[in-house]
Amino acid sequence: MKVYISVDMEGIAGIATYDQVIRGGSGYSRAQLLMTSETNAAIEGAFDGGATEVLVNDSHGTMDNLIHEQLDPRARVIFGSPKAFCMAEGLTSDFDVALYVGYHAPAGSEGVLAHSFSGYFASFRVNGAVASEASVNAMFAATRGVPVGLVTGDDIICDIARRSFPGVRTVQVKEARGVMAANSLSPQEARKQIRNQAADAVRGNGGTQLLPVPDGIRLEIGFQTALAAELVEAVPGVVRTSNLSIARELDSPEDLLGMIATSYNLAGLAARTVYSLVNRT
């Protein structure tokens, strides 16, 4: 029984502000501890449920947030960035179930620190619908024949997961009270619930179902600056749909993840360029 865990930071109990999730913020070190502890809860639950192997993918920001010496030594960890498949790196058809820990609501929606893959994206749609990181990664997992057994995070992403992923278990560790405000469980209670639900997800993974994989995928992204849209427009196949937005038709979830990574890296370049020019004037 092989279990895959993708862990983000914004959906962890006790985390609600940008100061906590951005490296260099005064709250970042504490957030690392909270993220590492919830990851351990999921690892422990996976082994409680019968896992023989667990692979963890550090999926937040620079993707080197977890404190490795404090992680359950039974698990292996993928970390660092860039990765070819981003938050889904390392997920292959050998795995029996995927667990998504610390996930959050998508760009343009309510939710604690809501965004989709990058804060540089003002909006993010797949086939016309607002899309979360969980839904994109679940689509990729489906191409490998791996169902999503657990999603943890705030009330918004848990509600989305229950409506979108048949048979999924969820752990709502906090309720959104704003972009940077939450009513949170204690970290100890959140870990207890995550461990229990991870164990149940692994024991009962046959009750979950794969997300449908569409024949074609249309990605639409709205940016914070026109320069970002202009840079991404230079990618072959991209169509500029407005001053601040682009669209591209894609053939597979693998292509989708690649286009997302290209877009947020170019958007980041645009943001740094604009910031540099503004500070010169």
Cα–Cα distance for residue pair 12/18, rounded to 1 Å: 13
Q: How many CA atoms lie within 13 A of 146 on its CB side?
A: 25
Q: How many CA atoms lie within 13 A of 120 on its CB side?
A: 22
Range list of H helices, the chain: 18-21, 28-48, 133-143, 155-164, 187-203, 226-233, 253-280
Cα–Cα distance for residue pair 82/164, rounded to 1 Å: 28
What confidence tens digit (pLDDT) does each residue in 104-120 have? 999 989 999 999 999 99
Q: Which one-letter amino acid corresponds to residue 42?
A: A
Residue with tokens 């048949």: 166
User: What domains sit in the chain, N to C, each tagged with a CATH number?
Assistant: 2-117+133-207 (3.40.50.10780), 217-280 (3.30.1360)
What confidence tens digit (pLDDT) does each residue in 50-67 have? 999 999 999 999 999 999
What confidence tens digit (pLDDT) does each residue in 9-42 have? 999 999 999 999 999 999 999 999 999 999 999 9
Cα–Cα distance for residue pair 266/259, rounded to 1 Å: 11
**Could you tell me if 104 and 157 are in contact, meaning their C-beta atoms sit under 8 angstroms apart?**
yes
pLDDT at 209: 80
Question: Looking at the annotation, which residues are catalytic?
Answer: 115
**Could you tell me if 170 and 152 are in contact, meaning their C-beta atoms sit under 8 angstroms apart?**
yes
